Amino acid sequence: MRLILPFAGLICAAILLLSMRQPIAAPKMQLSEYGFFEGKMADLKPAKGVFPYEVNAPLFTDYAEKSRFIYLPEGKKMLYKSAGAFELPAGAVIIKNFYYAQDYTASEAERLRTCRILETRLLLRDEKGWKALEYVWNADQTDATLEVAGASTPLSWVDAHGKKQQIEYAMPNLNQCKGCHSYDGQFVPIGVSARQLNQAEKSDNQLLTWATNGWLELPSDFNPATSPCMKDYRRLEENADKNATALAARAYLDGNCAHCHNPHGPASTSGLFLEYDQADPEKFGVNKPPVAAGRGSGNRRYSIVHGKPNESILLYRMEENDPGIRMPELGRQMAHQEGVELIRQWIKQM
């Protein structure tokens, strides 16, 4: 026994090391194998180490609803950054589920009952960097399977206005994930950033909650009010003034366009930069002629023409559904009516 004990320690250490060398980043065939959710999978009830998050200016993807979670390995925390994505520890996973109810005119209980989860996208952090994995849910809603080449499925629902919508719902392949999640060619998260996560106007700011729970390292002098924070464009009041509309519009463009349209993103070729903090009007499109838009220009001369939404290329590409014209290129087949209206208002009020 005396002989074995020291060895037992060694063996334990070895097992521990080995298990640590089996990072969660190793792709699993089934989503259930990660154990992110407990109970019935489709309820998406987070297991230990998994917590939900909300973004201020979400990306529109054909009216899909999304639920977002972060998994952190035991004892590890995220590091706050004021610009760009937070630093996440190796082993961390960002989890995003896409779902639709059958009928958006129905009661909440009914919507919940008829909910269909289509896909779960994972961003996994390992020692080397980030990678993406796509999981497609089965019809029984019991699990989701890894699909590197993406997939598509017919989908229909009744929207909030009672209109039946029908699309071939597309789920991305791994390269398409990087089509948006790219900074100087490196894979990066988008939504896990100060301007998307800082809920400066809310009393229960999620950043502060996470700091309290030990999930996030905040600077000691962190002040939500003076830190980057985008307006939630969905909560724009009906009679909003020009400035409020502009803030909402810029948040919308950041959330929906700036992942590519920034000097380090895939659309750096275009010279059109739509980040929330882009101060140069020419760079965010005012009187800017297109570079390689081709027929995407729609016979309009500038990205944004002051006061003239119908002469602005930006709006044209948001309204069109042709794959050679529409923007964003990926993630939507339908126009986002509310988004289009917001940008129209903003340009009109310029």
Partner 1 sequence: MRYFIFHSFYLTRLLIALSGIFPAWGLQAQADIEKQLQTRMILAEDGDVIELPQGFVTLSNTLWLDGKNNIVVRGAGEGKTILSFKNQKQGAEGLKVTNAKNITLQDFTIEDSKGDLIKTQTVNGLVFKNITARWTGKPKASNGSYALYPVQCFNVRIERCTAIGASDAGIYVGQSDSVWVTDCYARNNVAGIEIENTTNAWVWKNKSEDNTGGILVFDLPDLMKKRGGHVQVYDNEVKANNYRNFAPKGNIVGKVPPGTGVMILATNDVDVHHNQILNNKTASTAIVSYFIAETPIKDTLYNPYPTNIRIHDNTYSKGKRMPTWKNKLGFIFWWKFGRKVPHILYDGIQNPDHLDASGQLRSEYRICIKNNQNGSFANIRADKIGLFKGDISKDIRPYDCSK
In the complex, least distance from residue 262 CB atom to partner 1, rounded to whole angstroms: 11
Quickly count: other Cβ atoms within 10 Å of residue 177's Cβ: 21
219 vs 263, which CB is nearer to partner 1? 263
Q: Which is nearer to partner 1, 88 or 170 (CB)?
A: 170
Residue 11 or residue 148: which is nearer to partner 1 going by CB?
A: 148
Smallest distance from partner 1 to CB 350, Å: 17
Pairing label, strands 116-125, 144-146: unpaired
Q: Which residues pair with 125 in a beta bridge?
A: 130
For partner 1, give the closer residue by CB, 195 or 332.
332
Q: Minimal distance in Å, beta carbon 233 to partner 1?
A: 25
Do 69 and 51 contact (CB within 8 A), yes or no? yes
Question: Of 107, 122, 140, whose CA–CA distance to 41 is shortest?
Answer: 140
Task: Give dist(CA 87, CA 84) in Å, integer.
Answer: 9
Summarize as ranges the residues that interact with partner 1 (CB under 8 A).
148-150, 168, 170, 173-176, 178-179, 182, 185, 263, 266, 268-269, 271, 282, 287-302, 313, 322-325, 329-330, 333
Nearer to partner 1, 82 or 269 (CB): 269
Q: At its nearest, how many Å lie between partner 1 and the CB of residue 294? A: 3
The torsion of the CA quartet 83, 87, 93, 94, rounded to 10 degrees, works out to: -10
Residue (of 181, 165, 168) closest to 133 by Cα position: 181
The least distance separating partner 1 from the CB of residue 295, rounded to whole angstroms, comes to 5
Distance of CA 237 to CAs 49, 101, 308, 342, Å? 37, 26, 22, 11
